[in-house]
Amino acid sequence: MRLHRNLCFAVIDGLHLIFNEGEYADKVVQQLLKRDKRWGSRDRGFVAETVYQIVRYKRLYAEIADVKEPFHRDNLWRIFAVWATLRGITLPDWKYFTDTPTRKIKGRFDELSKTRKLRESIPDWMENLGLEELGEKLWTAEIAMQNQQADVILRVNTLKTTKKDLQLKLQSEDIETEFLPNHPSALKLVERANVFKTEAFKNGWFEVQDASSQLVADFLDVKPGMKVVDVCAGAGGKTLHLASLMENKGQIIAMDIYESKLKKLKIRARRNGVHNIELKVIESTKPIKKLHGKADRLLIDAPCSGLGVLRRNPDAKWKLQPEFIDNIKKTQEEVLEQYSKMVKDGGKMVYATCSILPSENEKQVEKFLTSESGKNFKLIKDKKILAHKSGFDGFYMALLEKNN
């Protein structure tokens, strides 16, 4: 493989923004891909995948390169040289690569890879937390899987088409997909492709949504005609899935504290042909109180550490702080306590996170059930998904029912 100067410069610029300026990797990559109209899909693929891979293994590569943060540009080139050498790429005779100790790099890699926190490239606090909550065996398998690139999974919009028809439509646009067992609405891309440019996407035939995330709406056991509240709706991936499961009948109230996210949901809903969603920004406790005892179903897709989706957000490893996790657990308790009041007698709710930590999942549900707000609820079932067992994102979901 030959390295091209303009592509390598793009990677270095991207790493500078992510590591030194604190910008989000996905946003940076989106910007980089618009940098040169002459780039083909292979060029864009190189930039995106190289940036993500170096972000993923920042700690390991920096240790091998013997550089410390904040990384100046020479440091970033040294890290890049480590990445290239480990991929078996011959380094061109550019000034950035003079004195690159190629043989030493491989030896250092073998040596450092014996230590899990370096091999999987995670901060010490995350290593300690994972071990404490999951134990040696599970944590080793899970954190290794969280460093693998995630598959692209689509969820068919059954309001507009069927899984088979979507598959055929994508095939006509040179995109091959396969069915996934136990995921009724999912199609997995055989090879990565920009699905957002397809006619099928523009016509609202599908959304991109991980297979684990697709199980959450199903778990809520909704029926057409119900009044359903999605209280942490965000940009609405699960909201739209609920709408299709309800066949566009009944009412979904999608709520979030961020108006900008709900605006995105509005655009997506239009494209999906969904018209039973009402959007509400949570600016005070008023909209919550208005719905006390009114919801047949409630979805709490709670804010969480996101440790189940590091494959998609590798820079979260470096942005997350232990204090954030302590604070988010308090938020989860408050969300359960306040929002559960919207469920009517005999109604059901799902508490879900994209975390793999029991302290954010089972333990939060146990604590809620012994609280004043939760004493009228009972746990019907819960499901924990670990990435290394499923091949998809790490998730947790619990279905609770309110007594009549």
Predicted confidence (pLDDT) per residue in 140-188, tens digit = 999 999 999 999 999 999 999 999 999 999 999 999 999 999 999 999 9
Mean pLDDT of the chain: 97
Predicted confidence (pLDDT) per residue in 240-275, tens digit = 999 999 999 999 999 999 999 999 999 999 999 999
- State mean pLDDT over 223-236: 97
The DSSP output letter for 220 is T
Whole-number pLDDT of residue 181: 92
Whole-number pLDDT of residue 1: 87
Whole-number pLDDT of residue 388: 98
- Tell me the whole-structure pTM to 2 decimals: 0.96
Q: Which segments of 66-210 does DSSP mark as H helices, in order?
A: 73-86, 102-112, 116-119, 124-145, 163-172, 199-202
Whole-number pLDDT of residue 343: 98
Q: Residue holding tokens 């899970």?
A: 142
Q: List Cβ neighbours of 140 (8 Å cut-off, separation of 6 or more).
A: 116
Q: CA of 21: how far to CAs of 24, 25, 166, 315, in Å?
A: 9, 11, 41, 12
- State mean pLDDT over 33-45: 95
Distance (Å, whole) CA 264 – CA 261: 5
- State mean pLDDT over 31-42: 95
Residues with a catalytic annotation lie at 354
- State mean pLDDT over 43-52: 97
Predicted confidence (pLDDT) per residue in 66-79, tens digit = 999 999 999 999 99
- State mean pLDDT over 40-69: 97
Q: How confident is the model at residue 99 (pLDDT cuts 50, 70, 90)?
A: confident
Whole-number pLDDT of residue 305: 98
By three-state DSSP, how is residue 205 classified?
coil
Main-chain phi, psi angles of 376, to 5 degrees: -90, 5
